[in-house]
Amino acid sequence: MAILDSKGRLFGKINLLDLGAALVTLLVIFVILSTFLSSLGLAQIGEKIVPIEVDLVVRGLNVRDPEQLFNNGLKTGGKTNVIIRNQPYGQIEIKSIQQLPRTVNVFQPDGTVKELPDPKTNNFSTDMLLTLEGKAKQTESGLVLGSSKVKIGMPFELEGFNYNFNATVIDIRFDK
């Protein structure tokens, strides 16, 4: 029996054109699956997933009633949507929120400066310190949430039911 017969079949059973088409199809499926799986952000070799806490400061958020924010989702134990460098990360848990007091610097007659509570009653500006917690990839160049590196000084955009504002990263803690 010949390897190829007169009809182009291998061992008289498999057509070479069909075999080639099947191999190309399998190759395309393999490439698509490998691309999809690598885009999921699964830990690659040399990377590990670590718990992370990110401290954010919000300065001068213009809001009439800060309690309205806290009653509608921006609260300890809740979740907020995070956008880092215009890339949506998803939801992350809010570990703590601390509203910072508004103060003014008052010069004293002896030349010293005292920080005293702001006496203005029509001040619609608030400052907050937020701590978010989640999981991040630890790479050689830093921590990564989703597809964005997290570094001190970076802006985070926080979005929820009745808010959308920017905050700045001031501290990052993680287990080494």
pLDDT tens-digit map of 21-40: 899 999 999 999 888 776 66
Report residues of the chain scoring pLDDT below 70.
1, 4, 8, 38-46
Do you know the residue count of the chain? 176
Distance spanning both ends of the chain, measured CA to CA: 66
pTM of the predicted structure, to 2 decimals: 0.67
Give the Cα separation of 164 and 7 in Å (integer): 68
pLDDT digits (tens, 9 = 90+) for 54-70: 999 999 888 888 888 88
Which pLDDT value is given to residue 110? Answer: 94
The pLDDT assigned to 55 comes to 95
